[in-house]
Amino acid sequence: MVAAPCAHQPVLVDAAGGWISPGLVDLHLHGSAGHDFADAEPDSWAAILRAHLTTGTTTALATIASTSPIATRAALATAHELSGRPEAFNLAGVHLEGPCLAAEQRGAHDRNHLREPRELLEELTPIPPALRMVTLAPELPGAELAITYLVQQGVIVAAGHSAATPTQLDTAKAAGLSHLSHLWSGQSTLTRPTAHRVPGLLEASLASEGLTAEIITDGHHLPPELLTIAHRCLGADRLCLVSDATAATGLPRGSQFRVGATTGVVRDGYATTLDGHSLCGSTTTLAGCVAEMFRRTDASVPDVLTMATATPARVLGRYPQKGSLIPDAADGDAVVFTQDLEVAAVVIGGRLVGTW
């Protein structure tokens, strides 16, 4: 049984035969049900956070895809405004995915809104209070200086949408880069320009020491073989499951939506850019990704749950307050799963959100 306060008396939730997990921690989450975090409307943010909270995401980094400096500043201001308010209790800050990305690895990001690290430094000086993570391409001119500045200000820096070489990744790591955004998505891979093979960012990521990494396990971004490789290379203590959920989540097939400055369209269980050339985030919650990782690989349930709770919480520097159920240390966030890892109940701060 799980006891959680509701109104003035405890409520008992029967977890018999299931799993009790810490609340889910999503480092990479753009939106839900037609709403995108790049919109600065507090009501849109509250709707996104509420939708994901009810499916178990008790800690969320609001992720902003590449967009204009004005839109980015407005979104960061909204995050600061909502911080600590009841409607944003699961908001852990902002993750800027871009705009300092490699054009050839930009995926669904709008080329017109890509910028150089020097420009981003100007935009982020002084550091906005809500900023917690920045994904950038470490091979861009000025990236090392940007990484150093951001890390000194307490911001996590990740490599993503990048064609960095292993040497460039090592240089970025020495400057303080500590994380890797969504493996295989927006990462350069092995080339053979002459007789010799040259590793890309993907191979450097899988062979890295100490870096943590994300993987999107929505059932569409990556096949089971690649999920298995990531788990075997990095292990549950370095690999984070992320949803990359967009405004497409919960919308019917054929719906158009925005993520950052890009327009996408909902297909059969996934989303793409309008031209169909790139996946455009996902339509799946982190709880759905947990279930997919369990169904599609041989990872154990404890490993799968660790990758969606303790490991991303450590990336954020929030463990054991988040991502754990340690008495007198954790915040009281929990998810009750069925035996098949379907969400049965959600608790945040010791308060029951709902049961299903």
How confident is the model at residue 15, as a pLDDT?
86
Q: Is the pLDDT of residue 206 over 90?
A: yes
Across the range 228-240, mean pLDDT stands at: 98
| 220: in domain | yes
| 148: in domain | yes
CA of 181: how far to CAs of 106, 205, 257, 330, 349, in Å?
A: 12, 10, 23, 26, 28
Q: Is the pLDDT of residue 60 over 90?
A: yes
Q: Is the pLDDT of residue 154 over 70?
A: yes
Q: For the chain, how many structural domains are there in total?
A: 1
> Residue 172 — very low, low, confident or very high, per pLDDT cuts 50/70/90?
very high
> Residue 8 — very low, low, confident or very high, per pLDDT cuts 50/70/90?
low
| 304: in domain | yes
Name the DSSP letter for residue 23.
P
Q: Is the pLDDT of residue 28 over 60?
A: yes
How confident is the model at residue 14, as a pLDDT?
85
DSSP secondary structure, 33-69, as one string? TTEETTS--HHHHHHHHHHHHTTTEEEEEEEEES--H
Question: What is the average pLDDT value for the chain, to the nearest integer?
Answer: 95
How confident is the model at residue 3, as a pLDDT?
53
Give me the domain span that covers residue 311.
31-330
Q: Decide if 25 contacts 323 (C-beta within 8 A).
A: yes
Q: What is the pLDDT of residues 130-147, one digit of tens each?
A: 999 999 999 999 999 999
Q: Is the pLDDT of residue 1 over 80?
A: no
| 181: in domain | yes
**Cα(133)–Cα(131) distance, integer angstroms:** 6
How confident is the model at residue 355, as a pLDDT?
75
| 189: in domain | yes
Across the range 330-336, mean pLDDT stands at: 97
Q: What is the pLDDT of residues 91-122, one digit of tens each?
A: 999 999 999 999 999 999 999 999 999 999 99
How confident is the model at residue 10, as a pLDDT?
79
| 13: in domain | no
| 352: in domain | no
DSSP secondary structure, 275-317, as one string? TSSSB-SBS--HHHHHHHHHHHS---HHHHHHHTTHHHHHHHT
> Residue 4 — very low, low, confident or very high, per pLDDT cuts 50/70/90?
low
Q: What is the pLDDT of residues 271-289, one digit of tens each?
A: 999 999 999 999 999 999 9
| Catalytic residue status for 218 | no
Q: What is the pLDDT of residues 248-269, one digit of tens each?
A: 999 999 999 999 999 999 999 9
**Cα(73)–Cα(123) distance, integer angstroms:** 8
| 74: in domain | yes
The CATH number of whichever domain residue 249 belongs to comes to 3.20.20.140
CA of 35: how far to CAs of 6, 87, 248, 270, in Å?
A: 29, 15, 8, 16
How confident is the model at residue 13, as a pLDDT?
84
Of 110, 218, 244, 333, the catalytic one is 244
Q: Is the pLDDT of residue 7 over 70?
A: no
